[in-house]
Structure 1
Amino acid sequence: MTDKNPQEGNIFEDVKDEVVGIAKGGAKHPGTKPVLTGATVGAVAGALLPVVTWPVGLIAGVGIAIYSRVKK
């Protein structure tokens, strides 16, 4: 049985809307700067860690930044 809280939206729809908004709005979208900052921090962290490469860190940083924007 899947009883879902009506206050709780679909996280995938929210993330999709955020990504589409960033893609359409470019630098003017309010989510662009935090997502780019997350990408940079993730890439640097990935480059410094011995097991993770910078592309993996970049993707993780973008994912965390978008998730944190959507959950607000």
Structure 2
Amino acid sequence: MARQHPEEPTLVEMTIEEVKAMGKQGLAHPSTRPVLTGGVVGAVIGAVLPVVSWPAGLLAGAAVALYSRVKR
């Protein structure tokens, strides 16, 4: 496992900063629309699948979209 330098932010720190920025800037932030779209897609998939509820799908879809935005 590679060690990070102390000055490099962790994935959790980057995610928290991204969510804060999205909250402050709203739809003007470049990550807001993809994360909302991911949530909607997840909710639709959750509503269609009998095992997953739409709220769980919404959360999962938004989380995957946010992760993909932060990881870039």
| TM-score, structure 2 as length reference | 0.90
CA distance in 2, matches of 1:56, 1:34: 18
Cross-structure match for 2:69: 69
Q: Where in structure 1 are there 5+ consecutive unaligned residues?
A: none
Cross-structure match for 2:58: 58
CA distance in 2, matches of 1:24, 1:69: 17
Q: CA deviation at 1:8?
A: 6.0
Cross-structure match for 1:19: 19
After superposition, the C-alpha distances for 1:10-55 in whole angstroms (9 at most, x for unaligned) are 0100110110010000010001110010000000000011100000
Q: How many residues align?
A: 71
| TM-score, structure 1 as length reference | 0.90
Runs of 4+ in 1 over 6 A off after TM superposition: none
Identical-residue share of aligned pairs (%) = 51
- Residue 13 of structure 1 aligns with an amino acid whose one-letter code is E
